[in-house]
């Protein structure tokens, strides 16, 4: 009996020890889970229970200088799945693939992944989203995202750029200002039960996104519209490999317009070859500027007093430098001529002689000061430096060819910036395209102001250059660039294209024109570059200069710059604004009838005329003296903003105003005795009276204006 008790006690002891060991293991395991793996397991449990749905920030809007929307973000649904919550993967894949036009196997593979969250398709159209929502598929959800929309599909897409699938900027302004435009994404956190159902009254947390900043550009969409129109004409007529037009305010460095060909639609950039959209020719294309570079040569020579305006040169049709004979474009030569005539005639031997007088060291100093061989710093990705022969390796032959725009390569943005410095009083300005950065509450974050890099030439030299270039347009190689109503200056250029292995390629040219207007107070500087025009016409004077003529006239009229009557050749390039005492006392009165009151005021102020206003209307219906009358500068112009009582008798035919600016429409209606009642801004898209209708003089015509595009 005693031995039996001992055995029982032993068994109980062993059982107790085993129980204690098991209990100790459980305690150790519990402690390990609680204290060592606790944080990780809590995160895993929360990850299964809590679901995060991303909420993308709305990307900032891009405006032109007049606050017209160019690029906006619109709401769009994106489809996602939570694989663990899908009940029937095969059926779900079939339904989604059918409605989204996707491969069923690819969708099934995606929703079968061992992951918490998977995108199925981003930014789908509204109708498709509604169809999927009606199916009420388990594990399928929607996130509201923003889709980038470029309102003017072909308005400077290389400058604006575009975004990728994740709404990140890939090119242009969209890329450069990504940090400002993108904003900060938010998220929605929702609690689910063990089988994936959303728990009513459970924990929901919403972390709102922060919208991106808005950009106000220096670009004017109306001027950009003019540029796009002229580029289309160039393509239709010459079928070139490429073309660029840049319009700059030479006094500030603001880019008013920048256009490229070939072009693309940024709303569907995937439909185009990368070669079309990945490079902005205006800032990366290197080419020999040809005779447009002679503007720089002349400026340097005059600044360094290496030539006088009346100094004589002889051109027999060529000049010999080292062992090479460099021909003039006019093979028979220009004969005896002054430096004024050398510039007017674009004479190669004359410019080469001047360049050699300047010398390599001094010429290179100015070339760098004008910004060649280095980026301008414009806020666009992919800017090229240009190509400049190493000064230590440069020879007199190199100097001679550089003087006429050969043996040096520049980008369009470099050249227009340098030309602006030559005619704006002598300052190299940093070109820029973003005027302001504002938050979504319209609070100013940053403002960009004109930035003078440094002075390159004196104001006196700049005045002389303007006069010489005005003579080029009036009487020289740039006659086709003449702008009716506005004194303009500029220089044509025709250069052969350099081959990949060096040397020039026969039959391939770049035609260009660099110009500005008005001469006495430059408001715009324009560069037109046409790469490899076809059809046997390739001279800058034939291809690019006529484009400047039409473009500059439209821009200056749009800007409200008063036209000049009876333009004549400047008496002296240094004093090109010189007039007789009698001329200084008189002025042509601008026509302001049918203009809004504020525009009439600005136009008269710009002309230096005093005015009085009678009436309480918003438009000007009468003025005394009439537009075009030549009066003394101390005359006060009387304006009447009330429609006149004594309306003219008779009938007139209603013209077609479509596409006209406010000024053009107002001027035309005024000439017919009709009055303008406008709404909107931009160009005419609608008029209350159909073209060709016979109407009474004095009738009020309602005209609707909208931005171009």
Residue numbers annotated as active site:
291
Reported as type and span, the H/E element at residue 74 is strand 69-81
Q: Is 52 helix (H, G, I), strand (E, B) or coil?
A: strand
Rg (CA), the chain: 36
Selection from 436, 434, 420, 430 nearest residue 377 by Cα: 430
Q: How many other β-carbons are positioned within 10 Å of the β-carbon of residue 571?
A: 13
Per DSSP bridges, beta strands 186-191 and 651-653 are unpaired
Planar angle of CA 43, 48, 52, nearest 5 degrees: 90
What is the rounded distance in angstroms from the CA atom of residue 491 to the CA atom of residue 469? 7
Which residues, listed in sequence order, are joined to residue 587 by a DSSP beta bridge? 631
Structure tokens at 221: 């969409």
| Residue 84 CB-density burial (10 A; 0-12 exposed, 13-18 middle, 19+ buried) | middle
SS3 620: coil
Q: Give Cβ neighbours of residue 486 (< 8 Å, ≥ 6 apart).
A: 517, 518, 552, 553, 556, 561, 563, 564, 567
**Are residues 85 and 49 in contact, defined by beta-carbon separation less than 8 angstroms?**
no
Any residues with CB less than 8 A from the CB of 19 and at least 6 apart, and which?
Answer: none
Compute how many other C-beta atoms are within 10 angstroms of the C-beta atom of residue 643: 15
Phi/psi of residue 679, each to 5°? -145, 135
Which phi and psi angles does 489 have, rounded to 5°? -135, 160
The Cα angle at residue 346 between residues 343 and 348, in degrees rounded to 5: 110
Task: State the Cα–Cα distance between residues 140 and 122, nearest whole angstrom.
Answer: 13
Tell me if 104 sits within 8 A of 97, measured CB to CB.
yes
Q: At which residue do the structure tokens 């649904």 appear?
A: 77
Name the DSSP letter for residue 36.
I
Rounded Cα distance between 613 and 643, Å, is 13
The single-letter DSSP state of residue 550 is H
Tell which residue, 356, 259, 220, has the closest CA to residue 301: 356
Q: 3-state class of 150 per DSSP?
A: strand
Measuring CA to CA, which residue among 682, 619, 684 is closest to residue 656?
Answer: 684
Task: Say what the alpha-carbon torsion angle 558, 559, 560, 562 is, to the nearest 10 degrees.
Answer: -110
Sign of CA dihedral 387, 391, 393, 399: positive
CA distances for 421 relative to 375, 561, 697, angstroms: 15, 21, 50
Pairing of strands 489-498, 427-429: unpaired
Q: What is the DSSP letter of 647?
A: P
The alpha carbon of residue 131 and the mean position of all alpha carbons in its chain are separated, in whole angstroms, by 40
Cβ burial of 628 (10 Å; 0-12, 13-18, 19+) is exposed
Who's near 35: CB < 8 A, 6+ residues apart?
Answer: none
Check residue 68 and report its DSSP letter.
-
Phi, psi of 317 (to 5 degrees): 110, -5
């Amino acid at each position: 009996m005693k031995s039996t008790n001992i055995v029982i006690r032993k068994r109980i002891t062993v059982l107790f020890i085993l129980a204690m060991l098991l209990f100790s293991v459980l305690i150790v395991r519990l402690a390990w889970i609680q204290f060592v793996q606790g944080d990780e397991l809590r995160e895993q449990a929360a990850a299964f229970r809590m679901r995060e749905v991303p909420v993308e920030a709305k990307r900032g809007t891009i405006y032109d200088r007049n606050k017209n929307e160019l690029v906006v973000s619109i709401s769009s649904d994106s489809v996602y799945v939570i694989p663990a919550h899908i009940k029937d993967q095969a059926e779900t894949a079939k339904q989604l693939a059918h409605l989204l036009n996707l491969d069923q196997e690819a969708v099934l593979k995606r929703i079968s992944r061992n992951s918490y969250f998977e995108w199925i398709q981003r930014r789908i159209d509204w109708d498709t989203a509604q169809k999927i929502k009606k199916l009420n598929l388990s594990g399928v959800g929607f996130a509201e995202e923003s889709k980038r929309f470029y309102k003017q599909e072909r308005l400077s897409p290389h400058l604006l750029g575009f975004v990728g699938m994740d709404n990140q900027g890939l090119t242009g302004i969209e890329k450069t200002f990504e940090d400002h435009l993108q904003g900060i994404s938010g998220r929605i956190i929702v609690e689910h039960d063990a089988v994936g159902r959303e728990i009513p009254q459970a924990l929901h947390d919403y972390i709102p996104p922060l919208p991106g900043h808005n950009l106000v550009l220096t670009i004017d969409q109306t001027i950009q519209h003019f540029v796009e129109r002229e580029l289309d004409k160039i393509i239709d007529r010459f079928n070139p490999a490429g073309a660029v037009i840049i319009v700059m305010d030479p006094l500030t460095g603001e880019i008013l317009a920048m256009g490229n060909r070939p072009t693309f639609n940024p709303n569907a950039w995937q439909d185009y070859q990368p070669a079309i959209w990945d490079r902005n020719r205006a800032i990366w294309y290197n080419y020999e500027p040809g005779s447009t570079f002679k503007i720089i040569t002349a400026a340097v020579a005059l600044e360094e007093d290496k030539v006088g305006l009346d100094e004589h040169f002889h051109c027999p049709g060529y000049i010999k430098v080292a062992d090479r004979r460099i021909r003039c474009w006019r093979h028979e030569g220009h004969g005896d001529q002054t430096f004024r005539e050398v510039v007017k005639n674009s004479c190669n031997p004359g410019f080469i002689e001047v360049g050699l007088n300047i010398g390599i060291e001094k010429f290179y100093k100015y070339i760098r000061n004008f910004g060649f061989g280095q980026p301008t710093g414009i806020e666009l990705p992919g800017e090229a430096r240009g190509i400049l022969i190493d000064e230590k390796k440069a020879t007199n032959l190199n100097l001679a060819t550089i003087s006429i725009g050969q043996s040096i390569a520049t980008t369009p943005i470099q050249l227009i910036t340098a030309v602006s410095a030559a005619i704006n009083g002598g300052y190299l300005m940093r070109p820029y395209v973003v005027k302001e950065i504002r938050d979504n509450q319209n609070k100013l974050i940053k403002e960009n102001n004109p930035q003078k890099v440094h002075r390159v030439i004196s104001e006196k030299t700049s005045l002389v250059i303007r006069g010489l270039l005005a003579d080029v347009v009036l009487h020289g190689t740039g006659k086709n660039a003449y702008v009716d109503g506005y004194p303009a200056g500029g220089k044509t250029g025709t250069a052969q294209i350099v081959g990949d292995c060096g040397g020039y390629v026969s039959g391939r040219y770049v035609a260009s024109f660099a110009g500005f207007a008005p001469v006495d107070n430059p408001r715009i500087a324009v560069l037109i570059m046409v790469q490899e025009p076809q059809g046997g016409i390739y001279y800058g004077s034939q291809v690019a200069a006529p484009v400047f003529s039409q473009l500059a006239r439209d821009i200056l009229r749009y800007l409200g710059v008063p036209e000049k009557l009876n333009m004549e050749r400047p008496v002296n390039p240094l004093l090109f604004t010189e007039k007789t005492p009698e001329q200084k006392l008189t002025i042509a009165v601008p026509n302001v009838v049918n203009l809004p009151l504020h525009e009439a005021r600005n136009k008269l102020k710009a002309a230096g005329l005093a005015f009085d206003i009678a009436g309480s209307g918003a438009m000007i219906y009468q003025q005394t003296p009439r537009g075009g009358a030549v009066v003394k500068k101390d005359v006060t112009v009387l304006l009447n903003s009330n429609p006149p009582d004594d309306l003219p008798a008779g009938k007139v035919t209603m013209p077609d105003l479509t596409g006209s600016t406010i000024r053009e429409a107002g001027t035309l209606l005024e000439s017919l005795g009709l009055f303008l009642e406008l709404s909107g801004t931009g160009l005419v898209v609608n008029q209350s009276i159909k073209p060709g209708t016979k109407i009474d003089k004095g009738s009020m015509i309602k005209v609707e204006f909208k931005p171009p595009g």
